[in-house]
Amino acid sequence: MPELIKKIRFLRETSHISQEFMAFELGISQPAYSKLERGATELTLSRLQKIAFILGFSTAELMNNNMEVLAARLLQR
């Protein structure tokens, strides 16, 4: 699983956000979102931008920071 997808899943779970909620916000089904988190579906830039917004990060933050930095920022909120 690519590192970016691992970060997204970690942040979603840490934020107690369900796959169903993410899917709804992205306008896709929960199974389609699950495939995205498993890396079975390509993560497009527009979806990445929406996911970053939902999680409260910028796209650059998600891409450029490791999970420890992202987790620390999440806990500071």
Report all structural domains of the chain as residue ranges with CATH numbers, in order of start.
Answer: 3-75 (1.10.260.40)
Which pLDDT does position 16 carry in this prediction?
95
Question: Under the phi-then-psi rule, with left for phi > 0, alpha for psi from -120 to 50, and beta for the rest, what region is 68?
Answer: alpha
Picking from 27, 24, 14, the residue whose alpha carbon sits closest to that of residue 55 is 14
DSSP 8-state class, residue 75: H
Which pLDDT does position 74 carry in this prediction?
87
Which pLDDT does position 1 carry in this prediction?
56
What CA–CA distance (Å, rounded) separates 25 from 29? 10
Going residue by residue through the chain, which has 77 residues, state the pLDDT in tens, using 9 for 90 and above: 589 999 999 999 999 999 999 999 999 999 999 999 999 999 999 999 999 999 999 999 999 998 899 989 988 88
